[in-house]
């Protein structure tokens, strides 16, 4: 599904311990969850700079995930593109509206993606 190994290669340059591109995708999803927790703390503390920083980090991961989709894999590729794009829209709204609820919505979707990814890739 992810034909390009750009994300893996970029990450591997900085972190030698990644065994596979499948594990990297899981780590990227987990990163979104961690960054969104930090963004929620920043919203609660009214720290606009940190909120924006953490939301931008999550958005960057979704951007990288979109950039690595292999659109030759059929309908699932287009579904993922739409799903990731929608999550990026939700993150933008969370940033504009200072909405912990929007971050929670994104986290719920990402948790589902982690579970599905682990099952599909045999990481479960």
The reported pLDDT for the residue numbered 23 is: 86
* Angle, alpha carbons 25-31-33 (nearest 5°): 115
pTM: 0.82
Asked if 106 and 94 touch (Cβ cutoff 8 Å), the reply is yes
Asked if 66 and 81 touch (Cβ cutoff 8 Å), the reply is yes
Domains of the chain: 6-121 (1.20.120.340)
The reported pLDDT for the residue numbered 122 is: 75
What integer is the mean pLDDT of 57-82?
94
What integer is the mean pLDDT of 45-49?
98
What integer is the mean pLDDT of 70-94?
96
């Amino acid at each position: 599904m992810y034909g390009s190994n750009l994300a893996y290669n970029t990450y591997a340059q900085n972190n030698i311990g990644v065994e596979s591109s499948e594990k990297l995708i899981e780590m990227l999803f987990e990163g979104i969850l961690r960054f969104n927790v930090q963004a929620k703390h920043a919203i609660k503390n009214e720290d606009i700079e940190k909120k924006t920083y953490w939301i931008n980090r999550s958005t960057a991961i979704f951007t990288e995930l979109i950039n690595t989709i292999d659109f030759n894999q059929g309908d699932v590729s287009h579904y993922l593109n739409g799903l990731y794009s929608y999550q990026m829209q939700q993150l933008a709204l969370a940033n504009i509206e200072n909405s912990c609820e929007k971050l929670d919505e994104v986290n719920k979707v990402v948790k589902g993606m982690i579970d599905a990814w682990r099952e599909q890739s045999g990481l479960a």
